[in-house]
């Protein structure tokens, strides 16, 4: 009986060792292939998203003399320069009764949001190389957190615009109720372009030199310091391919009540943004599996 018990114990021990070995060496972690599962993971990691956003907000103006005031000074100085160059020297026409400073600052709201969010989003994966190579999380969290940080600067700039309108005694239009739609469209424009360049920036580091050029060139071809109505009619369709044209016109229509809201321009901006969104997500998902190796 003793020998029989020893034999049974020996067989059980061998089977347990086999089971543990199978669990140790046969556990395979595979990436989720379904997009629905992938995007549901972003919601599960929402605490990490908020943590990264808060970290970027704290670090952005760390060890600066005037700190968060840079979020105020930059758009104000840009507005002053545009007002002097385009409003005084070039003497470009304004839209309706809005002062030229308010006309420019209203356009700076979506433009600064795009410029800041695009630059941070495009470099987010390279800047977060340490996290990418050590832990798992949906990689889209890094670009999204950088855009949310730019959204904080957008909120500060919007408060500056409110103060500026009070100083000029200018009341916003009743169309302002539609402003959240254009803010959402701006967010997706920043997201689609930023995510695409962020993925390509990991694969080809040449894109780090293209990012400043895109921002500088985009400022010239966007109606920030002027009205899009001055563009000749025969070039309007080409000009409207820039999604920021429809967005900026939409902001001015919502806040200032201008008559320059072009439905075709808004439609083109929306379609271009959706196409960029689909392309950027496809490229990002295809390149994502090699980020940790190439970062």
DSSP-derived secondary structure for the chain = -HHHHHHHHHHHHHHHHHHHHHHHHS-------SHHHHHHHHHHTHHHHHHHHHHHHHHHTTT-SSGGGHHHHHHHHHHHHHIIIIIIIS-PPPSTT--HHHHHHHHHHHHHHHHHHHHHHHTHHHHTHHHHTTS---TTHHHHHHHHHHHHHHHHHHHHHHHHHHHHT-PPPGGGGGHHHHHHHHHHHHHHHHHHHHHHHHH-TTHHHHHHHHHHHHHHTSSSSS-GGGS-GGGHHHHTTSHHHHHHHHHHHHHH--S---HHHHHHHHHHHHHHHHHHHHHHHHHHTTHHHH-
Q: What is the pLDDT of residue 95?
A: 59
Rounded Cα distance between 104 and 108, Å, is 6
Rounded Cα distance between 115 and 108, Å, is 10
Q: How confident is the prediction along the chain (295 residues), in pLDDT tens digits per residue?
A: 555 545 545 544 555 455 444 444 454 545 555 555 677 778 888 888 888 888 888 777 776 666 667 777 788 888 888 777 766 766 666 656 678 888 888 888 999 999 999 999 999 888 888 888 777 788 889 999 999 989 988 998 898 888 888 888 888 888 889 999 999 999 999 999 999 999 998 888 888 888 888 898 888 888 887 778 788 888 888 888 899 999 998 998 888 887 667 788 889 889 999 999 999 999 998 888 877 777 7
Q: What is the pLDDT of residue 187?
A: 95
Q: What is the pLDDT of residue 91?
A: 67
Rounded Cα distance between 254 and 251, Å, is 5
Q: What is the pLDDT of residue 231?
A: 81
Q: Is the dihedral of CA 112, 114, 117, 119 positive or negative?
A: negative
Cβ contact 196:280 at 8 Å: yes
Q: What is the pLDDT of residue 34?
A: 57
Give residues with Cβ within 8 angstroms of 217, minimum separation 6.
none
Q: What is the pLDDT of residue 8?
A: 46
Q: What is the pLDDT of residue 25?
A: 47
Q: What is the pLDDT of residue 63?
A: 65
Residue whose tokens read 């059980």: 12
Residues in the chain: 295
Q: What is the pLDDT of residue 67?
A: 65
Rounded Cα distance between 194 and 36, Å, is 21
């Amino acid at each position: 009986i003793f020998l029989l018990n020893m034999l049974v114990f020996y067989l059980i021990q061998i089977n347990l060792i086999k089971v543990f070995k199978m669990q140790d060496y046969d556990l395979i972690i595979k990436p989720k292939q379904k997009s629905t599962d992938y995007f549901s993971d972003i919601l599960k990691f929402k605490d990490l998203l908020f943590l990264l956003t808060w970290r970027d907000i704290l670090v952005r103006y760390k060890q600066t003399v005037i700190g968060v005031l840079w979020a105020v000074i930059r758009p104000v100085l840009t507005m002053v320069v545009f007002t002097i160059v385009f409003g005084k020297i070039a003497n470009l026409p304004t839209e309706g009764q809005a002062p030229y400073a308010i006309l420019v600052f209203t356009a700076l709201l979506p433009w600064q949001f795009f410029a800041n969010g695009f630059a941070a989003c495009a470099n987010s994966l390279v800047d977060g190389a340490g996290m990418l190579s050590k832990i798992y999380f949906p990689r889209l969290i890094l670009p999204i957190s950088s855009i949310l940080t730019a959204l904080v600067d957008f909120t500060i700039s919007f408060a500056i615009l409110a103060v500026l309108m009070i100083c000029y005694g200018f009341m916003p239009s009743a169309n302002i109720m539609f402003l959240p739609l254009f803010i959402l469209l701006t967010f997706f424009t920043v997201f689609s372009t930023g995510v695409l360049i962020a993925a390509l920036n990991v694969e080809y580091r040449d894109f780090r030199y293209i990012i400043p050029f895109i921002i500088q060139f985009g400022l010239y071809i966007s109606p920030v310091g002027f009205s899009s109505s001055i563009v000749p009619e025969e070039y309007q369709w080409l000009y409207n391919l820039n999604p920021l044209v429809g967005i900026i016109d939409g902001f001015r229509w919502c806040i200032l009540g201008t008559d320059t809201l072009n439905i075709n321009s808004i439609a083109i901006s929306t379609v271009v943004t959706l196409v960029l969104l689909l392309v950027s997500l496809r490229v990002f998902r295809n390149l994502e599996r090699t980020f940790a190796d190439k970062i």
